[in-house]
Structure 1
Amino acid sequence: MGRRRRAWWRVAVVGAVLGAVAGAPGAPVLAASGAPVQSPSPPSSASLSSSPPSSTTASSYAFVAGAPSVTGTVSTGAAELLEPGTTYRSSLPSEGKVYYRLDLDGTSTVYVAATAVPPADAPVAATEGVRVTVQDADGRACSAPDTATIGAGRSPRPLTAWGARALPSKRSLCRGAGTYYVAVERVLRTESVPGDWDLELAPVLEPRLRQAGPSSAPESWDSATPSPPVSGAVRVRGGGGFGSATALEQGVWRDDVRPGQTLFYKVPVGWGQQVYATAELGSASAGGASGGSGNGLVPGAVNLALYNPVRGLVDDTSISYSGSQRSGALAAVPPVGYDNRYAVSGRVSGMRFAGAYYLVVHLAARVGEEFGDGPLGLTLRVRVKGEAGGGPGYAGESEPAGLFQAGLGGLGSSSGDGVVAGAGDGGASGGGGAGMKAVAFGGIGAGTLVLVVLGVWVVVGRRRAAGV
């Protein structure tokens, strides 16, 4: 009877473990014998071509779930504290600056990105936007004010600007530990349309280096733009915000975008790698999809932007649209390098760390007036050139942790519509592995669970046999 109890107990444990493993994301399916069974192949791009359009609602922004709320104050004396590594929700009034507080040490660099979201139906001017500045306790700027504006499309969309207290710094007044302030304000507001904009604040800490590195920007780099990938497109669904950006790797990706909609994607880029991207907007149906006249030209109809891991704008481009298919490409950017930060050009200085680089696509609401509010086909061609190298050697951990890592683990999981299968074309580096990496990770994690539990089972069984 004792042996039977032990046998039944072992069977129950194995059954529970295998059940848990079978339910784990990316886990291999096991036959009754314990041997792996071939899992079904992921759907092909052809089968995905009939997928429904992105679930992101036009003119919306997906704020980070559970983000604590803070209130910007008109005086620094009552400014609320922002902790690096935490994303916050706030609002931006139509007039005047609002302030937030930072308590900083004397060794780390801190960045703060502010994403302002106008109401979907708000009339906006091309020059209207948001400005961010980080200041010391005496009101002196620690970095040049950064401004993001609506642009030629004149369409309400999320606007992101950033500020920094960077170390080492030539600005001696911003080197020490102490209290600093983030000032956020609207610029060139449309006078006839008062009202708050929603705001997302993302403070980030970059630790110092273990050893001093170069203090000047690289003198030269390969600025030739490679040909975009030409493999078959894989269907994806873009995220609705930075926090829910859909993870992509090198390859060709197919989505749908509606007028007024902004889609977010993220691409892992390692130290020493270069990222390139193009966006193609498909042609509209004759006469407009849903009531549009179909005979106009929309300046700046599509905006494609590249942001770095702390949400700092690296480069963007706009495409006008008249109903025929159009494409636009980002300018060539340098390989990711720590010393890029010393460059004058924002397109170079923004490529200062490895991690998730964001591709953000906005389709102007005015496209709906001319060509209907139905979705248009969007194709992204992404290339990552070069082999990822080692980092500069940080003396501590970033906040949030893992931000300046280019691997899948450093990116975090997408809170959009799931992991995307790779679509690389065998080009320069590492294309086509996102889906397989995710499956492999899940399989390894499940396998580890099996080994741990079975190890405990063996130990317990031996102790029972020994009468312990």
Structure 2
Amino acid sequence: MGDNWGSGEGWHVMGRLRGGRALQAMGAALCAVMALPGQAVAEGTSEPSPYVFAEGAVAVDGARNSTDSARLTPGSTYKSSLARGGKVYYQLQLDGRETVYVSATAVPGLDAKVAYGDGVEVSLEDTNGNTCNSGDARFGTSQSPRPISAWAVRTVGPTENRCKAAGTYYVVVERNSEPGSGTETWDTELRVVSEPGVAKNASTTPPESWNSASPTPPGEARKVRRGGTGFNDARALDAGVWGDRIKPGQTLFYRVPVDWGQRISAGVELGSASGGRGEYVTSALVMSLANPVRARIDDADTAYDGRQKTTALKPLAPVAYENRYSPVDGVTGTRFAGWYYLSVHLNPEVAREFGDDPLDLTLRVNVDGSAKEGPAYMGAARPAGEFSVTGEDQDAAARGETGAGAGSGDGGGGGNGGGDGMRIVAAGGFGAGTVLLAILGVWTLIGRRKAVGRVGG
């Protein structure tokens, strides 16, 4: 491209391409640059958005009763809302062969008021009102607004005696509120994932033991990777030491590919503050780990007094299909391969004690063990590739791509997303200037092709 800039052809092309598709493409690309991870802006405000919803998420209203409920489809992602004290219904039509997971991610506003017991609960029920499964998520001791996810599952397998027949099921999403909590309506993101059945000879015996010693944290040089705002634009990481900066009240998301037979471990360190009154903030930094269906596996938190602090997840079992039959919560979550999500939240109380300036963040991530063969699935997951780790996933982690577009129901969940928009956003890791240079390079090629066309004519 050096010859192009020397001849000035690129600038001449830019002058010729006023209006039309070229300027439309430029506008779209500039919008993509402005919306790079960590820079999303809430509609109608200049404030950063607390969460980027899935590209192509379908807007759907929760019904006040089961009869009027809208139908959800496995493999798709939806955007909805939840009022204070609200309880809403959605509907699923399921066959008798697939296990289906439903997650609800609640997204309070940045200034929302939340209490210890505030949170969200998800249940799956049959047409007789029997609960198949339920789960909840609470804000806990940090009492600060951030995206939280709850999930429920309808399981089909040799050990299940209920809710395994084909037919209609209902997803019930309820907001738990304590006295004194805020009255703001929360946005919610619903994601429905189906897992096919496996061969009848698959093991149903959970692991009795594994190496539960804490892995040695990696100690190489810190590399900077900017976290995303949610599951959909989470920054991909592989094993290593990663640096970022986090503001009080902010939540950053990262994703790590973990294959069958491997186990993930992670710790996070919050850097020291340059000033402040030296007060003590409890649950100042909260780190959470979720599996590919956004089911929470473990949390870790630490207080902060202006000096550097660190916290780490408990040792986890290697990923194995039979983990789902374990009575231990921390084991059941590592039941399939795919993208595992790390989120890190900094309590807004830190700003009151130590100022609004961002603080340094260091993540130490390990993925131990060799990849093994997965279970003999009798069909495909929805979205496709949800419970596997591909070479493309590993490349995305090595490059630090975002997860923009993943989980939008386009069959790309668990991969790199897809489309030109994904490639533009992924370039955010290299800076907006690089993206603009790439756009000008495209204009140069267009100009050359037009010149060749004129000569040929």
**Paired amino acid for 1:55:** Q
Correspondence for 2:39: 55
Q: Which one of the candidate residues 382, 385, 390 is aligned to 2:368? A: 385
**Paired amino acid for 1:334:** A
Query: Aligned partners of 2:145, 2:195: CA distance in 1, in Å?
Result: 32
Q: Which segments of 5 or more consecutive residues in structure 2 lack a partner in the other structure? A: 1-35, 41-46, 394-413, 431-457
Give matches, 1:354-365, under 5 Å. 354-365=337-348
- CA gap 1:98/1:274 in 2 versus in 1, 3 angstroms: same
Q: Deviations over 1:344-384 (max 9, x none)?
A: 12110000000000001111111111111111101000000
Query: Aligned partners of 1:306, 1:107: CA distance in 2, in Å?
Result: 29
Query: Aligned partners of 2:364, 2:182: CA distance in 1, in Å?
Result: 38
Query: Aligned partners of 2:178, 2:63: CA distance in 1, in Å?
Result: 19
2:70 matched to 1:80?
A: yes
Correspondence for 2:415: 412
- CA gap 1:389/1:419 in 2 versus in 1, 3 angstroms: farther
Query: Aligned partners of 1:306, 1:247: CA distance in 2, in Å?
Result: 14
Correspondence for 2:101: 111
Query: Aligned partners of 1:212, 1:140: CA distance in 2, in Å?
Result: 29
2:189 matched to 1:206?
A: no
Q: Which one of the candidate residues 184, 202, 210 is aligned to 1:195? A: 184
2:316 matched to 1:333?
A: yes
- CA gap 1:211/1:169 in 2 versus in 1, 3 angstroms: closer
Query: Aligned partners of 2:362, 2:426: CA distance in 1, in Å?
Result: 18
**Paired amino acid for 1:282:** G
Query: Aligned partners of 1:59, 1:260: CA distance in 2, in Å?
Result: 12
2:218 matched to 1:229?
A: yes
- CA gap 1:170/1:189 in 2 versus in 1, 3 angstroms: farther
- CA gap 1:53/1:335 in 2 versus in 1, 3 angstroms: closer
Query: Aligned partners of 1:164, 1:402: CA distance in 2, in Å?
Result: 19
Q: Which one of the candidate residues 61, 81, 86 is aligned to 1:71? A: 61
Contact 1:309/1:358 (8 A) holds in 2: yes
Give matches, 1:232-271, under 5 Å. 232-271=221-260
Query: Aligned partners of 1:218, 1:240: CA distance in 2, in Å?
Result: 35
Q: What SS class does the counterpart of residue 79 from structure 2 fall into?
A: strand
Look at both structures and tell me which one has the larger radius of gyration over its CA atoms. 1
Correspondence for 1:370: 353
> 1:256 Cα deviation (Å)?
0.7
Q: Deviations over 1:183-204 (max 9, x none)?
A: 1111133446323110000100
- Give the TM-score normalised by structure 2: 0.76
> 1:242 Cα deviation (Å)?
0.4
- CA gap 1:250/1:420 in 2 versus in 1, 3 angstroms: farther
Query: Aligned partners of 1:53, 1:112: CA distance in 2, in Å?
Result: 26
- CA gap 1:260/1:385 in 2 versus in 1, 3 angstroms: same
Correspondence for 1:12: none
Contact 1:247/1:419 (8 A) holds in 2: no
Q: Which one of the candidate residues 149, 159, 165 is aligned to 1:176? A: 165
**Paired amino acid for 2:228:** G
Contact 2:197/2:378 (8 A) holds in 1: yes
Q: What SS class does the counterpart of residue 284 from structure 2 fall into?
A: strand
2:83 matched to 1:93?
A: yes
- CA gap 1:337/1:71 in 2 versus in 1, 3 angstroms: same
> 1:258 Cα deviation (Å)?
0.6
Q: Which one of the candidate residues 277, 293, 296 is aligned to 2:279? A: 296
> 1:173 Cα deviation (Å)?
2.9
Query: Aligned partners of 1:189, 1:274: CA distance in 2, in Å?
Result: 37
Segment of structure 1 superposing worse, 409-418 or 394-403: 409-418
> 1:212 Cα deviation (Å)?
3.1
Correspondence for 1:431: none
Query: Aligned partners of 1:319, 1:257: CA distance in 2, in Å?
Result: 15
Q: Which one of the candidate residues 117, 122, 129 is aligned to 1:132? A: 122
Contact 1:211/1:393 (8 A) holds in 2: no
Query: Aligned partners of 2:169, 2:123: CA distance in 1, in Å?
Result: 11
Q: What SS class does the counterpart of residue 273 from structure 2 fall into?
A: coil
